[in-house]
A and B are shown apart, each in its own frame.
Chain A
Amino acid sequence: MRKLLPLILVSVSLVIFAVDLYYIQIVDDNYKEDAIDLSVKKNYVYPQRGYIYDRDGELLVENQPAYDVMVVPFQTTDFDTLKLANLLGMTKQKLDNKIQQAINYSWKLPSRILPQLTKEEYAAIQERMYKYEGFYIQKRSLRSYDTDHAANVLGYIAEVNRRDIKKNPYYQSGDLIGRQGVEQQYEEVLRGVRGVEYIKRDRFNRNLGPYKDGSYDTLAQKGKDISLTIDIDLQAYGQKLMKGKRGGIVALEPETGEILSLVTSPNYDPSLLVGRKRSRNFTKLWNDTIAKPLYDRGLQAVYPPGSTFKALTGLIALQEEVVDTTENFHCYGGYTYARGQKMGCHDHKNPVSMINAVAHSCNSYFAQVYMRTIEKYDTPQQGIDNWHDHLTSFGLGDYLGYDLPIGRKGFIPDADYYNRAYEYPKYEWYASATISNAIGQGEVLTTPIQLANVMAAIANRGWYRKPHIIKKIEGQLIKKDKYLEKNQTTIDKENFKPIIKGLHDVYEYGTARFLRVPDIEMCGKTGTAENKTVIDGETVQLTDHSIFVAFAPKDDPQIALAVFVENGYWGSRYAGRIASLMTEKYLKGKITRKDLEQWILSHTLEEEYAKPLSGEPFEINQ
Chain B
Amino acid sequence: MPRILNQLDWLSVLLYTIIICIGWAMIYSASLETTDPEILNFSKPYGRQIIWIGFSIFLIVLVLSLDTKFLIRFSSIIYIISILLLAGLFVFGKSIAGQVAWYSFGSFSFQPAEFTKIAVSLAISKYLSEINVVLKKPLVQIKSLLIIIMPMALILMQPDAGTALTFLAFIIPLYRKGLPHAYLVLGISVVALFLLTLKFSASSVSISVGLLSIIGLVLFRKKKVNYIKYFLFVGLAIGFVFSVNFVFNNVLLPHQQDRFEILLGNKTDIKGTGFNTYQSKVAIGSGGLTGKGWLKGTQTHGKFVPAQHTDYIFTTLAEEWGFIGSMTVLLLYLFFIIRLFIMAERQKRNFSLIYGYCVASILFIHFFINIGMVIGLLPTIGIPLPLFSYGGSSLWGFTILIFLFLKMDAERKQL
Taking Cβ atoms with an 8 Å cutoff, the residues of A that contact B are: 2-3, 5-7, 9-10, 13-14, 16-18, 20-22, 24-26, 28, 30-32, 34-36, 38-40, 200-204, 208-209, 211
B284 to A, closest residue via Cβ: A24
A40 and B298 form a contact (CB under 8 A): yes
Give the docked Cα–Cα distance between A14 and B326 (Å): 12
Q: Is B289 an interface residue (CB 8 A)?
A: yes
- Beyond the given pairs A6-B364, A17-B371, A40-B298, 7 more chain A to chain B contacts, judged by CB atoms under 8 angstroms and listed by A's residue number, are A10-B338, A13-B368, A14-B330, A24-B285, A25-B322, A25-B326, A208-B34
Decide: A35 near B285, CB < 8 A? Known: A202-B301, A203-B302: yes
A14 to B, closest residue via Cβ: B334
Decide: A38 near B334, CB < 8 A? Known: A2-B176, A10-B364, A32-B285: no
For this complex, 21 residue pairs linking A to B, each with C-beta atoms less than 8 Å apart, are: A5-B175, A9-B364, A10-B338, A13-B371, A17-B330, A18-B330, A21-B375, A22-B323, A25-B284, A30-B285, A31-B284, A31-B285, A32-B286, A36-B298, A38-B304, A39-B299, A200-B302, A201-B302, A202-B301, A202-B303, A204-B303
Give the docked Cα–Cα distance between A610 and B36 (Å): 80
Q: Is B63 an interface residue (CB 8 A)?
A: no
**A-side contacts of B326, CB under 8 Å:** 21, 25
A7 to B, closest residue via Cβ: B338
A30 to B, closest residue via Cβ: B285
**A-side contacts of B360, CB under 8 Å:** 6
CB distance from A495 to the nearest CB of B (A): 77
Q: Is B85 an interface residue (CB 8 A)?
A: no
Contact partner, B341, options A6, A13, A20, A211, Cβ 8 Å: A6
**B-side contacts of A3, CB under 8 Å:** 176, 345
**A-side contacts of B178, CB under 8 Å:** 2
A25 and B285 form a contact (CB under 8 A): yes
**A-side contacts of B323, CB under 8 Å:** 21-22, 25-26
A11 to B, closest residue via Cβ: B334
Give the docked Cα–Cα distance between A61 and B157 (Å): 74
A28 and B338 form a contact (CB under 8 A): no
CB distance from A33 to the nearest CB of B (A): 9
Decide: A35 near B330, CB < 8 A? Known: A3-B345, A17-B371: no
A16 and B341 form a contact (CB under 8 A): no
B285 and A28 form a contact (CB under 8 A): yes
**B-side contacts of A200, CB under 8 Å:** 298, 301-302
CB distance from B275 to the nearest CB of A (A): 10
Taking Cβ atoms with an 8 Å cutoff, the residues of B that contact A are: 34, 172, 175-176, 178, 279, 281-289, 298-299, 301-304, 318, 322-323, 326-327, 330-331, 334, 337-338, 341, 345, 357, 360-361, 364, 367-368, 371-372, 375, 377
**B-side contacts of A25, CB under 8 Å:** 284-285, 287-289, 318, 322-323, 326
Closest 10 A/B residue pairs (Cβ) = A31-B285, A35-B286, A39-B298, A202-B302, A6-B341, A25-B323, A39-B302, A24-B285, A34-B282, A203-B303
A22 to B, closest residue via Cβ: B323
Decide: A31 near B298, CB < 8 A? Known: A6-B172, A17-B371, A25-B318: no
A20 and B338 form a contact (CB under 8 A): no
**A-side contacts of B372, CB under 8 Å:** 17
Output the residue of A21, A34, A36 with the most chain B CB within 10 A: A21
CB distance from B387 to the nearest CB of A (A): 17
**A-side contacts of B371, CB under 8 Å:** 13, 17
CB distance from A373 to the nearest CB of B (A): 77
Give the docked Cα–Cα distance between A14 and B327 (Å): 9
CB distance from B332 to the nearest CB of A (A): 12
Contact partner, A26, options B283, B288, B303, B357, Cβ 8 Å: B288
CB distance from A574 to the nearest CB of B (A): 67
Give the docked Cα–Cα distance between A26 and B288 (Å): 5
Give the docked Cα–Cα distance between A7 and B335 (Å): 10
**B-side contacts of A21, CB under 8 Å:** 284, 318, 323, 326-327, 330, 375
CB distance from A323 to the nearest CB of B (A): 84
A203 and B288 form a contact (CB under 8 A): no
CB distance from A212 to the nearest CB of B (A): 9
B282 and A31 form a contact (CB under 8 A): yes
**A-side contacts of B334, CB under 8 Å:** 10, 13-14
B302 and A20 form a contact (CB under 8 A): no
Contact partner, B375, options A17, A26, A38, Cβ 8 Å: A17
CB distance from B350 to the nearest CB of A (A): 14
CB distance from B309 to the nearest CB of A (A): 14
Decide: A2 near B175, CB < 8 A? Known: A21-B318, A25-B288: yes
CB distance from A424 to the nearest CB of B (A): 69
Give the docked Cα–Cα distance between A281 and B302 (Å): 46
Contact partner, B301, options A22, A28, A208, Cβ 8 Å: A208
